[in-house]
Amino acid sequence: MYTLELHKPFVLLLGPKVVDTHVYRCFTPEDHRKSGDQHAHELSSGTVHWFRDLSSKCRGNLIVGEFSAALNPNSYPPGCNDGEKDRQRRVFLRAELDMFEECCAGWFFWTYKKQEGWDAGWDLRNARLADIFPSFVGKRPYDGPVPSLHEREGAKNGALGNVFLV
C-alpha cells in the first residue's frame, strides 16, 4: 500500500517538486464504519496536522490529484434518507476543501461527469446540483473600497521604483 508518510525523506532530498496525493475515505473497512460527520471531524482535528506537516516539508508544493465527496454506503445508518446522505456528504466535502485550501497548492475533484446515472459523491456536476459541492471555492474576491485612480497610480509608481527595468 502506498503511503506518503514513507516517502517524506525523498520529498526532503529531491529539490523542487510537486507531491500529488489522492484522498478517499470510502474504501477501507475502517472508512465503512465512519459517518460523514465522523470523517469530517477526523479531517479537521487530525488529518489536517499531517497535511500541514507534509505541505511544509515540500514547501507548499502539495496537490491532491483526486478526491471526491463519496462515502461508502455502509457509512450511512440503516434507513438513512437521501437528504441525510447529502448532508453527510456536504459536511465531509467541506472539511476536505477547508483542509486542501489551507494546506495545498491545488486539488482536482474526481470526476466532472460520470458516464451514466446520478452520483453526487463522485460526479462534480451532480454534487453541485445537490448543493454538496459549494458554488464558490478558493479565495474570496476583494470586497473593500475601490482605490481611486490617483491611489492606484501612486501604488504602481511606488512598485516600479523598486524594480530594475531593462
Per the structure, the complete domain to which residue 75 belongs is given by: 4-141
Domain membership flag for residue 154: no
Between CA 107 and CA 67 the distance in angstroms is 8
Domain membership flag for residue 158: no
Q: Which residue(s) pair with 106 in the sheet?
A: 63
Domain membership flag for residue 111: yes
Per-residue model confidence as pLDDT tens digits over 92-121: 999 999 999 999 888 889 899 999 999 999
Domain membership flag for residue 153: no
DSSP state of 25: S
Domain membership flag for residue 103: yes
Q: Which residue(s) pair with 121 in the sheet?
A: none
The percentage of the chain sitting over the pLDDT mark of 90, rounded to a whole number, equals 49
At 88, give phi and psi (nearest 5°): -65, -40
Specify the number of domains making up the chain.
1
pLDDT category of residue 145 using cuts at 50, 70 and 90:
confident
Domain membership flag for residue 91: yes
Domain membership flag for residue 43: yes
Per-residue model confidence as pLDDT tens digits over 46-86: 999 988 988 888 788 888 888 999 999 999 999 999 999 99
